Structure 1
Amino acid sequence: MIKNGRRGSLSGVLMVKGIQCHIAYPEKGRNPIHQAAPAIAELAATEWDQGNEYFPPTTWQISNIHGGTGATNVIPGQLEIKFNFRFSTASTPEGLQQRLCAILDKYGLEYEIKWTLGARPFLTGRGPLADAAVEAIRTVCGIETELSTTGGTSDGRFIAPICGQLLEIGPSNATSHKIDECIAVDAPAQLSAIYRRILEKILLA
């Protein structure tokens, strides 16, 4: 599998403000969990885009949610939600921010958001470089491969803005981040041969 692109990553910390009070007197407070629940349901059900030829649709997921003091008789004064967009080239960070805020505003929430743009999406479409990589892997390894943009972000995002084309090719990541992470003994030699073959195809064509 050749990584010819990666999705972008846009994270946010949403603070929904309520009014803390004794749970026996809800009329004296404002429960931010109850208020936010319909908005959360709509955000989770929203189709942000339909993706494209290379990318799956953009997704929005909550990673952490917390509200309350830990006591069972207190309505919380605020709700904290940490979330993340994994987005394709079919969407922009600015567009996703605007659409999310529009949904929150629709439900009359009092809130603040701190945004973190971890990565912008990048893509190298089919062309001479991708074709050379597919052919090189076929020649060296005897296997057919495919272009893919699945998975998380990568260091490719740091050089994508200055590269006309960018592909990521490496050993199998079947054990990545596991306690027994490893690669095959012959993988480095195969990679060296693949890189050489790609250069030959591009430079000697």
Structure 2
Amino acid sequence: MPDMIDPVSLASQLIACPSVTPASGAVFDVLEAALRPLGFDIDRWVMGEAPDGPTENMIAIRGHGAPHFGFAGHLDVVPPGEGWSVGPYEAQVVDGRLIGRGANDMKSAIAAYVAAVARIAPGAGTLSLLITGDEEGYATYGTPRIIDRLNARGIRPDMILIGEPTSVDRLGDTVKIGRRGSVNMWIDVPGVQGHVAYPHRATNPVPPLARVVAALSEVHLDDGTDAFPPSNLEFTAVSTPTDASNVIPGEATAQLNIRFNNLHKGSDLVRMVEEIAAREAPGAKVRARISGEAFLTPPGRLFDIIVESIREETGAEPELSTSGGTSDGRFLIQLCPVVDFGLPNATMHKLDESAAVEDIRALSRIYERVVRKVLATEKSPD
């Protein structure tokens, strides 16, 4: 076996590679350099053009046969912003915490997993890493294209663990067994631009758009389910092309997002918004982008293994949750059961994003327990 890998050191190397969405290049080089000595075969490719590309993806596979356990994650990060106490790509450890963009979401989890499999000798069964450079964006050339590649090669994992930061107050307190769907929409209401002193020569789009906003704000989508919280519709922007105080704008736009549970489909929600917009503002147009549908992984061996591993390492009894944002599980659920589990998520996307050094190492030990339990399974888990 190669020398053991320190997950904090590997995480630091990954953080040191700026990889704002869509990511490619150096950060994948670092990961490949860590995986090849462990016996993984690496498939990397770059595809797509701006604005959603170019994006790099990686499929790394070791071993053969059942069970096949997949680990999924992303090396892209959101922009760092201004005001960090240390450089966002310096990967400094301060007061026991590794600080850097991606330390929490989710380069440390990828490093923790690689360090875990480095402690496990190759044997029966298959291990894979499915790593994308576009999870924080629209994923146009990200995980859906990884799935295409797997399907073309006839590869299908039995179960997939995603290393998203799911814990809340302490490592191991929350595991995500499903995610809500997400759809972004833009409602464009046309008008006729003119001087505010001559309104009869113009058509103001703002009042009808306001009626649309008011009507949609009154919509009650649902009360939630046993597994999901209620769906929610939130307006995120209202804009016109002019800031002049004496000009009636020629158009007005409202932007909204709906996070929805499995009582809905994205296309049905788009249709609902279109109908309300047509009623309140005739001539309005609705543009929509469905990021993913809601999904729920049914109970099974994957839950049991992860819960057992967390309990053994931390003593925590994790909550099985569907709260929070979405993940690439919305795509990977097409292949097999999917569960998200990772670090405490309080600092993700924030200035001075960080992860406790001891949490990173404990997470690696939990991942090691998970992999060993999966590989000890005699046949493909349910």
Q: 1:173 aligns with which of 308, 321, 345?
A: 345
Find the counterpart in structure 2 of residue 98 from structure 1: 271
What residue identity is the alignment partner of 2:358?
D
Report the identity percentage: 37
Structural RMSD (CA): 2.0
Partner of 1:69: 242
Judge conservation of contact 1:14–1:82 (CA < 8 Å) in 2.
Answer: yes
If each structure's helix is expressed as a fraction of its own residues, which one has the higher value?
Answer: 1
Query: Structure 2-normalised TM-score?
Result: 0.50
Q: How far is the alpha carbon of 1:204 from its aligned partner? A: 4.2
- Residues 43, 103 of structure 1: 8 Å contact kept: yes
Partner of 1:189: 361
Task: Indicate conservation of the 8 Å contact 2:192/2:251, yes or no.
Answer: yes
Measure, in 1, the Cα distance between the counterparts of 2:330 and 2:323: 14
- Of residues 305, 318, 327, the one that matches 1:132 is 305
Question: Is 1:110 aligned to 2:280, yes or no?
Answer: no
Aligned mates of 1:23, 1:180 — CA distance in 2? 47
> Could you tell me the TM-score, scaled by structure 1's length?
0.89
Check the 8 A contact 1:49/1:91 in 2, yes or no: no
Q: Which amino acid aligns with 2:370?
A: I
Runs of 4+ with deviation above 6 angstroms: none
**What aligned pairs does 1:20-59 form with structure 2 within 5 A after superposition?**
20-59=193-232
Looking at structure 2, the residues matched to 201 and 172 of structure 1 have their Cα atoms a distance apart, in angstroms, of 23
User: Which whole-Å CA distance do the structure 1 matches of 2:209 and 2:282 have between them?
Assistant: 7
Q: Does residue 1:160 correspond to 2:333, yes or no?
A: yes
Structure 2 regions of 5+ residues with no counterpart? Answer: 1-173
Preserved CA contact (<8 Å) 2:278 2:284: no
Give the whole-Å Cα distance in 2 for the aligned partners of 1:68 and 1:122: 38
2:188 aligned residue: 15
Higher relative contact order, chain-length normalized (CA < 8 Å, sep 6+): 1
Gaps of 5+ in 1: none
Q: Helix, strand or coil: the match of 1:49?
A: coil
Q: Match for 1:19: what amino acid? A: V
Q: Which residue of 1 aligns with 2:11?
A: none
Secondary structure of 1:95 counterpart: helix
- The CA distance in 2 between the partners of 1:65 and 1:22, in whole Å, is 21
- Alpha-carbon distance between aligned partners in 2 of 1:69 and 1:198, rounded to the nearest angstrom: 56
Q: Residue 150 of structure 1 is aligned with which of 323, 331, 351?
A: 323
Number of residues of Structure 1 aligned to a counterpart in Structure 2: 204
**2:216 matched to 1:78?**
no
